[in-house]
Structure 1
Amino acid sequence: MAVRDFTLPDLGEGLTESELVAWKVAVGDTVQLNQIVAEVETAKALVELPAPYEGRVSRLYVEPGVTVAVGEPLLAFEVEVAGTPAQQEAPAPEAAVQDDPAPEPTLVGYGARPDSTNRPARRARPGLAPVGAPAAAAAPAPAAAPVGLAERPRATPPVRKLARERGIDLATVTGTGERGLITRQDLETASAPAQTQPAADGRELRIPIRGVRKATADAMVRSAFGAPQASVFLTVDVTPTTELVERLRARRDTAEARPGLLAVVAKALCIALRRTPELNARWDEPAQEIVQTASVHLGIAAATPRGLMVPVIRDADARSLVDLAGAIRSLAETARAGKTPPAELTGGTITITNVGVFGVDAGTPILTPGEAAILAVGAVRRQPWEHRGEIALRDVLTLVLTFDHRIADGEQASRFLADIGGILADPASVLTLV
């Protein structure tokens, strides 16, 4: 038998660390290749990690809630290896285990090529006892420590980096993690001003910001202070569109897709972009250029228990209304379940956010970084409205378009929004635009 460490793999999209959300195995469990062993949260999504080996779990190095950097060990496996019986029975030295050049199996969804040699050296972490491992499995303590030599505070590399950035001496921090491991929350507590510490009477609650919520906060700050943003508003009678949606849902060939108002808005947006392509663009700061994109990669903002996510529908302009409806429903369900792959959360060219589902009439959305515009769709209200020279009850909603004023000016943004509103007010008019 030999011991093999499984380190946090590179999950792509520039992600350098992940938080362990939950273990799907325990010490002593026998697992198969590609069996899910853990669930981690990146800055973009929840990701399930499959086992890189077939064998028995011998160690869990971290506990849920701890942030782990790419390349740090997560758990260890006891695996069968070829060799003589004596070789199989003798435990491999720690250094030999970590430097074993044997190629790793190909995993589902990630992993370096088996012939790749570009693997960073891993540092041994003395004294780090595995989570849930028996006492005998822990590294033995030194027989005697030199007089006056203090034990190094135990913390993961990301926590040490954060401590350096905040000027916190880890020796002054009490770790609340497994066997005294210092966590990010410990640093937050240590660096918080005394007057803002949680009150003893429970009137104050501190919520750590991490994962998707942290990434969203960072993106919104970059967007708000990185681009001059302006908004235009339009209130429109969408009764013909709501009637169209009802008819589509009653038809056999479209009932299964259940196209709703949001799908029609998405289709109207794609059509309007043909006449105003300036809004399907991005600002290239280093080159000082506006880059227009031929295809529409449409982001749909989705509220999830883990925060705001914006999965992208690729080539939305090439899809039919029914296809868009199915794609919107599918990505929303996947996002709420936290299963959206990180690759599907990038590359958007324009975004729609549906604030109407929360009963809100209007709002001024902040741009998704790297995009020229975002459209907010308000709630549909049944209210008195001028119709054919008389007052009648009609379905009315408000649209709000926020745009990057470096890329487009008010004339282009207003024409684009008016095009969308015109299509929703008279869906039959699209026959003149396609």
Structure 2
Amino acid sequence: MGDVIDELEWRGLISQSTDLAALRELMAEGPITFYTGYDPTAASLHHGHLVQLIVMKHLQNAGHRPLALVGGATGLIGDPRMSGERTLNESEVVAQWAEKLKQQISRFLSFEGPAAARMVNNYDWTGDLTAIELLREVGKYFRLGTMIAKDTVARRLASDEGISFTEFSYQLLQANDFLQLYRRYGCVLQTGGNDQWGNLIGGTELIRKAEGKSVHVLTTPLITKADGTKFGKSEGGAIWLDPQMMSPYAFYQFWLQTEDADVERLLKVFTFLNQEEIAELVSATAENPRDRVGQKRLAYEVTTLVHGKEKADFVVAASKALFGSGDLFALDGDTLLEATASLPSCEVKLDETTLIDMLVDAGLEKGRGAARRTMSAGGAYLNGEKILDEEQVVSAKDVLPGNLVLFRKGRRSMAVGRVVS
């Protein structure tokens, strides 16, 4: 097996590190134990966490032992943000979210074999930690000047809102996590996002001072688009991994909309395809951009990784059918309902509602006159079929599984009609 550090570097998954040469040497000597932390500040992980899960999987595939830490304690506080103070969530809510995150994380790692992953919760060693113990055993190793100088803290201190002592103290708890995992499991590496660099370094410093040992940190870069803008927002907000918060169909469509200039980088970061496969996809995308070969493979691979092959195959079939290259009537009702959940919609009464009615009611056209012009120009479709007759009503033969009809204006403006009695 090749050097996993080389693999991560080629994929653009390493931004900062404490001592990459020393880490290489340590890994060459044998498997190490490493950890990544996930705070339950929401009911689901999102695409940013997915980057960390992928790094964990690369390291585990190379034979190293993962510790997946769910922050049952740190999630009660929340990591300081640039945008301002977090709202503290109720303990019961945080505990529920922690369980959901554990379930999500467990799907990405193997919990068997010599490199078996282990799930840990920092509430186990933080929940009963007294203020005196925290100050004596952790706080004494921290210097206020260093804590204040950290980027997020410095910016918050300079803002009108400032920063609470609660969030300011977060870095002590995260550093203590590394110390506890070092003592309990021999953990010598922490991975995380580049925005966590200051907190991660706090852990290495604590272990150096408390134990006299050197440990390591590895961070991933912020994933950006080719134009330098931040990657990872959909019309509905974050790119959630929970299918209840973002349907597999919507998830697939998000990746399918990737710009050509971003395909190569996102294939490297978010898939496990090798160099040759990615090179072929990038070349095919450049030669025939309209075919979107790279985007389709990216969307399929990431959807399979997050939701499983069966769901990925369903959404591919639904995607093809919705845009005219597949049989809509062959899809099951659940898949159609899921695929159309975020589309504009309207109610349809059989033998009464026309396509003109639906185009207006769903907001695809501003008025009946505009709808008629679209239809006369050949731009109105019902279930993928072009409709020219303004008086044609929806009948039982038009109803798809799930009690739906699909209609669109042009190639991309699609909506769904929900049949009512």
Q: TM-score range by the shorter chain?
A: under 0.3
TM-score by length of 1: 0.24
TM-score by length of 2: 0.25
More helix by share: 2
More strand by share: 1
